[in-house]
Amino acid sequence: MKLLQGSLINCIADNTAQKQMPKVGDGATIFSWTDRCAATVIGVRKTAGGKLVVTVQRDLPKRVDTNGMSEAQKYTFTPNPEGAIDIFKEKKDGVLRNNCSQTLLVGHRDEYYDFSF
């Protein structure tokens, strides 16, 4: 297992192939070094070679807990028509990655901000 992420949760996600076929409107999570960002699938297609390409747009997260600078964070999410758009392509190992080596998992929205960096 190669380490592209800085937390255990993100490292596990980084080595997990997409299990379900994404569809427009599905929730998704973008995994960075230690942070996670919620997104919505806005496009799905296959390349001529049969590889999956998923386009997502960042959601608008709203933190709803009162835990301050802690790891216990809870959010609600709203689709954001002005959110950043990113494209993830299926790699040989079945994992969806963008050009910045971030990983995408479709089927669950999650947001996490690591205050230690």
Q: For all residues of the chain together, what is the average pLDDT?
A: 86
Give the SS3 label for residue 13. Answer: helix
How is the chain split into domains, by residue range? 8-106
Q: How far apart are CA 39 and CA 28, in angstroms?
A: 5
Radius of gyration of the chain (CA): 14
Which tokens belong to 96?
């969806």
Could you report the per-residue pLDDT of 14-61, keeping only the tens digit for each?
556 666 789 999 999 999 888 899 999 999 999 999 999 999 999 999
Could you report the per-residue pLDDT of 47-98, keeping only the tens digit for each?
999 999 999 999 999 999 888 888 889 999 999 999 999 999 999 888 899 9
Phi first, then psi: give them for residue 9, nearest 5 degrees.
Answer: -60, -45
